[in-house]
Amino acid sequence: MTEITLALIKPHVLRNTYAMQQILSLISQHFTVLGQKEVHITKELSERFYAEHQNKFFYHRLTSFMNSGPCYALILQSEASIQKWRNLLGPTKVFRAVYSDPNCIRALYGLSDTRNACHGSDSEASARREISILFPEFKVALPDTLE
């Protein structure tokens, strides 16, 4: 089934031109990009985006980091895009990523569990919610694209 997902490239990767080129090239091989932009994630936006983690020990670290510099957000479309992008990312925890697949994005460009290179939506509902936060202008197109 054709799906859309939200990919978010975290601030330390955006500063690394080589990493950005590699990740954008990989994305172009696997997905149709329906939207892309550099975004400054304010603290408020970051707290909305990661609301489900607000009781976790890493919440403040994560929301502060996402607010520390520009990020790069993309709307990706393909068959099973949610799982496909998450497979390219590898496990959330970088040490697991390194052991499970040394060539996955998080193994190559992740620095820590917070600075784990990129984010990917974990479900259709999350994709809709996250896209509506970072691409409010895309809202109207969402239902059609998902059908």
Binding-site residue numbers for ATP are 10, 58, 86, 92, 106, 116
The β-bridge relationship of strands 2-9 and 32-39 is unpaired
Query: Contacts with ligand CMP: how many residues (CB under 6 A)?
Result: 8
Residue 91 beta carbon to ligand CMP: minimum distance, rounded to whole angstroms: 10
Known catalytic residue at 119:
yes
Determine the interface stretch with ligand CMP among 13-21, 37-45, 112-120, 127-135 (rule: CB under 6 A).
112-120
Binding to ligand CMP (CB under 6 A) within 72-101 occurs at 92
Own/partner long-range contacts of 60-67 (Cβ < 8 Å, ≥24 apart):
61/114, 62/114, 65/10, 65/11, 65/114, 65/115, 66/10, 66/11, 66/41, 67/41, 67/42, 67/43
Q: Report the DSSP beta bridge partners of residue 33.
A: 76
Residue 129 beta carbon to ligand CMP: minimum distance, rounded to whole angstroms: 13
CA-wise closest residue to 70 among 41, 45, 46, 97: 41
Return the number of the residue (12 or 119) whose C-beta is nearest ligand CMP. Answer: 119
Determine if 58 is a binding residue for ligand CMP (CB under 6 A): yes
Determine if 67 is a binding residue for ligand CMP (CB under 6 A): no
Tokens matching residue 59: 């919440």
Determine if 68 is a binding residue for ligand CMP (CB under 6 A): no
What is the contact surface with ligand CMP in residues (CB under 6 A)? 53, 58, 62, 92, 113-114, 116, 119
